[in-house]
Amino acid sequence: MPYKDIEYAKQKRHQLYIKNRDSILAQNKTPAFRKRRARNQRKYYSKNREKLKAESKSRSHLHYLKNKDLYKKRKSIRDRKLGFIKLVENDWEEPVDWHHVDNTHVVPIPRYLHRMCYTGDREKHRQLCNKLVKLLYGDIKWKKQ
């Protein structure tokens, strides 16, 4: 029975809001209301600072984990002016690095194999890893740029 009362209260509250919407929105634009809201937000933040920081950190980390490919794509574009067109989807169970076979196309390579090809020279690294890509995937067709 209380569930119906809650639903009824929600409906009444919504109807009241719809009826007085213009006056409520006008009130929210007044400087006094904005100052009061800012003061209350500062109070809440000062009391709950640790909890809010932990929630924010958790949200940002989860966002990073869900969008890891996007961040890697943006970083490669920003740092080295490279593209990020995937030639093959990631089917590896272990952690992977996205290797640029040329300036625009990438393929997933297991991280431990990709790190075996590290050298001080980018072109030499690319040549070594491209040999590895041929062993892993065979001849992948892409337009060289």
Tell me the pLDDT tens digit for each residue of 7-28. Answer: 888 898 999 999 998 888 888 8
State the pTM of this model: 0.51
- Looking at residue 145, what DSSP letter applies? -
Q: Where are the domains of the chain?
A: 2-64, 68-137
Q: Which amino acid is at 62?
A: L
Residue 13 CB contacts under 8 Å (≥ 6 apart), including other chains: none
* 97 φ, ψ (degrees, to nearest 5): -115, 145
Which pLDDT band holds residue 2 (cuts at 50, 70, 90)?
Answer: low
Distance CA 26, CA 38 (A): 17
Confidence check: pLDDT of 98 > 50: yes
User: What pLDDT is stored for residue 1 in this prediction?
Assistant: 47
Q: Does residue 49 sit in helix, strand or coil?
A: helix
- Residue 14 corresponds to which amino acid? H
- What are the pLDDT digits (tens) for 43-71? 999 999 999 999 999 988 888 888 888 88
